[in-house]
Every structure is written in C-alpha cells, then in structure tokens.
Structure 1
Amino acid sequence: MNMTILYFRILDFFAEQQAGDVLLDGTKDDELPVPGLTEVEHQVLRYIRQNPGKSRTQLASDLNLSKAMLTKAVANFDKAGLIQEERSQQENGERGKPPVFLSVRSSAFHSIGIYAHRHLCAVVRTDLSGKVHYSSLREMPQEGAVETIIFEVARAMENSPSPIIGIGHAVPAIVGEGGELFEVTPTQVGLPLVDIAKGLRSRFKLPVYWENDAFCSAAYMANGAYAAKRCVFYTTFGFGVGGGAVVKGEVFRGAFNQAANIGALIPETGPRPSLTDLARHLGCELETLSLEHLSALYAERDGKLLDWIADRGPRLSEPFSAAIQFFNPDAIVVGGFLPREILSALCAEVTLTGYDISGRRPLTKPVLEVAGLVGPLATAEAASFLPVAQNLLGQKALIAAPD
C-alpha cells in the first residue's frame, strides 16, 4: 500500500476514535466538552484543584459560599466525572459521620500541548493535574510541518485512557483578542501556524487554543508550581525575549493583549539574551544550539559563552527592576530554551535595585528563580494547560481563528 495513503488512513482512524471519545451530551466540533459551568463553579473547581483534600464544610467556609451553592456545584462536577470523594478514616473514639474530602479526578480528561519551531516539534499529553503521560520531541522536516504535527498529535492521542478536552498551542507570536496572530518572531515567520491550527481542528474535531509562548508558560506555572504566589512575572529566553505577568492565576494582558513585553525594554539595537543573539556571538548556526550542546559548552567553561553571560546578565537588571515597579511580583521566573545552569548564571549577574531611590522605601523585592523545566517539551507541557484553563477553570484562552 502507498505509504502516503496508509499515513492518512491512520490519522483518520485516530481522529474518529478521539471524536467519539470527547463528545459529551451530543457536543460536536469546536463546542466545549464541559459546557455550562458558572463562574461560581469555575471558582470552586479552581480552588479544589489547588487545594485538594478539603471537606465540603471547609470549602464553603474558605470560598464564603452557602452549602447549597457548593452542593449544586459539586453535583454538576459529578455529572462530568470531574471530582473524586474520599471519606476520612475514623480515629479511635471518634463518633459521627467522618467528613468526605474532595479532589479533582485527574483522569477525567487529558489535554494535548504543542510547541513547534522551524526545526523541532514537541507534543505532550497531560491529565488535569498537569502530569505528563506522553511526550514526543522530533525534528521538523523542511516540508510537511502541518502533516508532521498532525501525525504526532495522533500518536499522542492513540493510547489515551481519557477523552481529550482540547489542544493547546504555544506560539512564537502575539495573539490578538479575536484569536488572530500578529508580530510573529522573525526567525519563525516561515512556520505555517495558521495551517497547523486549521489542520488540527479539521482532523480531530477539537477546539484549538493559541497563546503567546511566554504568556502560556507564565499561566501554567502560576497555576501549578507557583500557585501560592499572588503575582508571577515570567521571562522566556528563546528566539527572542518575551515576558508574561500573571495576577492571581490570570494572565495580565493589558488593553491590547500585549502586556509585559519585557523584550521591548532591552533596546532593539543592543544585545538581547536570546538564542539568536547567542548564535551570532558564538559564530554558529541557530539550529545547533540545543539544550544538550549548550550544557556541554557551559560544562567546558567555553570562554565565548562565559563572556556572553557576563555581558548579557547585567543587561537584564534594568528591565527586571522596571517589572518590579510595574507589577511588584512575588516571583520573577526565567525559562525558555537555554539550559538551567546558563539561566542561573545569567540571574547571578542581575541586580533588582535599578529604580530604587535613596531615602524612599524600596518596593519589596521578589525571588528571582529559574523555571523547573526548560526547552520545547516544557513549553508544550505549558500549552496543554490552555484547554483546561478555558473549559474548566474559567480562565481566558484564545481559540485559534485561522479563517
């Protein structure tokens, strides 16, 4: 059989299987798999996700809700299989009915996350807790990017034990409020982002969500590892320099969806600590700068790399100091496509007092930390949060609008 025909038959089979899995109560195509949650129910689900193992009485008290409202919300969650309840064990001498503790049933849905650039494609599948159940990282062919991504997503869905709630795509671009893309990172302009969204939506009959990669990672961390922080400022060092601010778990977008663009605070004519800038400094091709290659250079104490760190690190002091004045975050987290050891070395060169004024009480300084995960797979993992945020948590995610 012709391999091309076989390839598309496999895709069709996966798509039919997944389409059958995700339909709840007759929903089709781009309709949300869990429709009809109210803002109160979103609030309750967000809180249970971040604070598992609390009783209904504790939840009602913490959220200042009546028991009737909480009971109604939990009943709706039960219908969609979103909540699991566990009765506590009686201790010696205790009387009465033991309380029931609630948590999100992680296996209720799975979610797909994608990050792609001109040379690599990363795809992950996660559950509702964010645990990764499948990951794939492969080279992007010079032609056939759309087909490659569709095939990798089909593979990710193939053995999913749970219905897929949607597809999130972290893109190297700013996303408008209507889901349109503009200001794509210059080195990634040739990536067929619109065609990718069209192909995914057509093939799998699932909603596809776009988000700027920095915003995407910021939201993911602020609803996960940094959930206890009130305000997180995230900076990504990839093919450019990008930023995202999250306040109480929600991305701060500004009036036109372009807030927290920390890259603009580093003059366009000056050196910017990005992969593009580093490739120019090292005199090598951009595509050679993998995490593994850069880690090896750092371990060897490569002179050019160390000179770059010593120069670029201090240049971050002014924009980070400005971010403190603008957002006063609990934490500044750096990530992207540089190894953690290089990011740590850059951070060691940063000072956060650039806008402190003698005699005036300075703003409380945040922690400055490196993200727990970096690289394309980490960004794809962050993208998998987008369908969960939109469908279940009541947080805005932008549905791709390729037409």
Structure 2
Amino acid sequence: MKSETQIKGSNPLRSRNRNRQAVLGHIQAAGTMGRAEIARALGLSTQAVSNIIADLLGEGLILEKGTRIAGRGLPAVQYGVDPKGGYAFGVEIRPDAIFTALLDLSGTTVDTARTELTDNSPDIVVGRVLSLRERMLEAAGVVDDRLLGTGIVMPGPFGKTGLSGRSSDLQGWEDTNARALFETTLGGAIELSNDANAAALSERLTGVAQGIGSYAFVYFGKGLGLGIISEGRLVSGAFGNAGEVGHVPVLGPGGPVPLESMLSRVSIQSLIGGSDPLDLETLDRLFRERDSRLLDWLSRAAEALGQAVLLLENILDPQTIILGGAMPGSIIDHLVETCPLSTSSVSNRHDNPFPRLQRGTCGRMTATLGAASLVLHRAFTPQQDT
C-alpha cells in the first residue's frame, strides 16, 4: 500500500505501539527499507527503530531481504514484510449472502467464497461467520496465532437513526450491538465498518487508490454508500455512519429526491421493473444490447452523479473520486465518461495528476476484500487512539 502521506512517529514509551505501526507501514509501503532510512522517515532514533525491528522479526511479521549499499560504511540490511507472517479474514454480510476473503500480510488474496444466506438474523449470521472462518483458515493451513483479526462489513447505517428501515438496510440489526456480538462469538481483534468504508480501503491497499492520500469512494451495493479517506485515514464519523451519501437530496425531474433513488441498483430495478433481481451479468448484457430503459436510467444517473460529485469535491477537496462495487464495469465506465463535471469546483484545477472521477479496480468483491483490508490498515497505520 503506497502512501505519499508520511506519518511521523515519536520516541516516548507510551507511543511504542504507534511507532511500531508506523515502522511496519513504511516497510510495507516501500517494499524494502533499512533501519537508518526508517529512522529518518519517521523522526525516530536508530535505536528505537532497531528495537521495533527486533520485535517484528521475532514475531515473523518481517524478514531480512538482502543488503543495499548507500554511501560509506557497511551495506545496510533491508527488511520487508513477510506475506506469511500474518493473515486477515474479511466478511461482507448482505441480506441474502455472506462473502468471505482471506488476505496475507502483503494484501494478496489467498481465498474467497460466497455462501447463500436464507436467515440473516444476528445469531444465525455470527454462527455462520465463525464456521466459515474456521473452514477457510483450515483449508489455507493458517494457524490461529497468525490471524491478525477479522474485518466485518455490512450495509449502514449502524443503530437506529432517521435513515433506518430503508430498502437498502440489513434488516433486523438496528437494536443489536454488532461489535459486541462478533467480539464475543469470534474472539480476537474485530474491525467493524460499513461496506463503503471497507471498499475504499480495499482500493487503497491493492487497487487504483494506491499512492493517493485523500479521496472519496462511491460504493454501489444494493443502495449507495460513500467511503472517505483523508490524509491516509478513514473518516468514520461519531457512530460509524459517515458517508451515507445515498440519502443526500439531488434535483430530479420532479424536484429534490434522494441520490440513491437515481443512482443505485435499486433505482435501476424500479425503472426497469420485474420481480427478479437484476444481477451484474444481466445489467452488463442490457448495456451491451443498448436497452432503451437502461440508457434512460444512465442519462438520469449521470446527471445526478454530477450533482453529487460537485458536492463531494467542494466539501472534501479530494484528489479523486472513485466509483466501484456491485455494478458492471461497463456501466461505471459509461457514468465516468458522461458525468457532467462542474467547473465551479475546487477540484477544477490543472496541478492534480489524478482524474476527478475514475473507476476502481477491485471489482464486485471490493467490500469483501476491504473487510480484510480493515485489519491490515490497522496493522500498518498509526491510530489516533493508540
């Protein structure tokens, strides 16, 4: 995960865990680094870095990767992340299915799976997740002490809010403390987030957002969500509900309407009709056939997206806005190409090397991979609370 944002460390003992995350994150971002180079980048003493390096070597998280000559003196030993030193398990919970992914410490996908879900009540779901995790770890030959944690993502909002009960929610979880339930059942480190936040981190770890410090990720699930990354950090909000962009009003043909009603798979279904859900293969086929109903939706959706982009740019000042998730790449590409980008935006500038709007590269599994990326993100990124 490359990052142009350099996070400074500090020497006090109380910041040791933070420094450890910073050291591991810099090694992962650079591929290989030496002690002196890490110390300079983080503003730490060489001795402090040496102590952290010794701990990381002892835990099997990093390994020596040769030497490099830099100026006078002996060649400097280079250190890199050991992909087999740790693993992250990711879970995406949807109303009708559970998607799981196992990533190694380098962010490489070891395995993925989809499991149908006929009962999505909390007790049933957590039991199923525990079983799936045990099965996937055993199949990959991963021992329990190499599991860094489990990332769980599901549609928001979390808790009872003024947005609860919408068609894109995961029903029946409003009164459940999801974090406590998963911590009690699964044990170990648990990262909980909405699907859009996880998808944004997935793009940062292995997708198009590598090397981009501040961006917004518009996520197509059943509804529409938003993940916000600012200076390399995920913006979650006070209750984990930042980014509920699908409920932001935009101007439709008949007046103000929620963005989600014009720019989501739910809105396509409403326009095209039919009782069978439109899967991604069907949507891609309709696009290739130039279906008039879908083309009508695309025209309206691009206009709504343009309004949303203007709002996000002027509020967040991102380097880029990325579209991705459970929507065919052909449709996303069309939206990117036809979206009217306003000139009255702080993002209308010539010194930004990134496009204002682009498609992500992690595909339909981006939120599932992002769930595991939440675990890796915490391992590599110093947290404010540590």
For this structure pair, what is the TM-score category when the shorter chain's length is used for normalisation? 0.7 to 0.9
Amino acid corresponding to residue 299 of structure 1 in structure 2: R
Cα distance per residue 1:7-49 (max 9 Å; x no partner): xxxxxxxxxxxxxxxxxxxxxxxxxxxxx95222211111111
Q: Indicate whether 1:393 and 2:375 are aligned.
A: no
Name the structure 1 match of 2:20. Answer: 41
Aligned to 2:142: 161
The runs of at least 4 consecutive aligned structure 1 residues that moved more than 6 Å come to none
Deviation at 1:273? Answer: 1.0
CA–CA distance in structure 2, aligned partners of residues 211 and 300 of structure 1: 37
> In the superposition, relative to structure 1, how do residues 300 and 142 fare at CA in structure 2: closer, same or farther (>3 Å)?
farther
Distance 1:113 1:136 in 2: 11
Amino acid at match of 2:21: H
For structure 2, list consecutive stretches of 5 or more residues without a partner in the other structure. 1-14, 251-255
Matched positions, count: 352
Query: Could you tell me whether the CA contact under 8 Å between 2:205 and 2:373 is conserved in 1?
Result: no
2 CA distance for matches of 1:181 and 1:158?
A: 37
Q: Which residue of 1 aligns with 2:263?
A: 273
RMSD, aligned α-carbons? 3.1
1:92-131 aligned at under 5 Å gives the runs 97-131=74-108
Work out the CA distance in 1 between the residues paired with 2:221 and 2:50. 46
Give the conservation status (yes or no) of the 8 Å contact 2:99–2:112: yes
Q: Would you say the 8 A contact 2:194–2:240 is kept in 1? A: no
Change (3 A) 1:199 1:318: closer
The residue aligned with 2:299 is 310
What secondary structure, in the 3-state scheme, does the structure 1 residue paired with 2:74 have? coil
Amino acid at match of 1:161: V
Deviations 1:251-285 (A, max 9, x none): 12345544444324334735321111111111033
The answer for the alignment partner of 1:336 in structure 2 is: 325
Shift of 1:122: 0.5
Correspondent of 2:171 among 182, 190, 197: 190
Q: Could you tell me which amino acid in structure 1 is paired with residue 100 of structure 2?
A: V
**Counterparts of 2:52 and 2:193 in 1: how far apart (Å)?**
29
Q: State the distance in 1 between where 2:80 and 2:88 align.
A: 18
Instruction: Choose the corresponding residue for 1:78, options 45, 57, 81.
Output: 57
Contact 1:328/1:363 (<8 A) preserved: no
TM-score by length of 1: 0.77
Q: What is the rounded CA distance, in whole Å, between the counterparts of 1:123 and 1:88 in structure 2?
A: 38
**Which sits farther off after the overlay, 122-131 or 137-146?**
137-146
- Check 1:138–1:258 CA distance in 2 against 1; reply closer, same or farther (3 A cut): closer
Query: What CA deviation, in whole Å up to 9, does each residue of 1:343-366 have, x standing for no partner?
Result: 111111212225349xxx955565
More displaced stretch, 185-194 vs 270-279: 185-194
Q: Per the alignment, in what secondary structure is the counterpart of residue 174 of structure 1?
A: coil
Corresponding residue of 1:26? none
1:67 pairs with 2:52: no
Aligned equivalent of 1:213: 195
TM-score (norm 2): 0.80
Q: Are 1:49 and 1:103, in contact at CA under 8 Å, matched by a contact in 2?
A: yes
Q: Aligned to 2:363, what secondary structure does the other structure show? A: coil
Cα distance per residue 1:61-97 (max 9 Å; x no partner): 2223221221122122123221111123789xx9963
Q: Which residue of 2 aligns with 1:323?
A: 312
Aligned match of 2:282? 293
Q: Distance in 1 between matches of 2:375 and 2:285?
A: 36
Residue 366 of structure 2 corresponds to residue 378 of structure 1: yes
How far off is 1:211 after superposition? 0.3
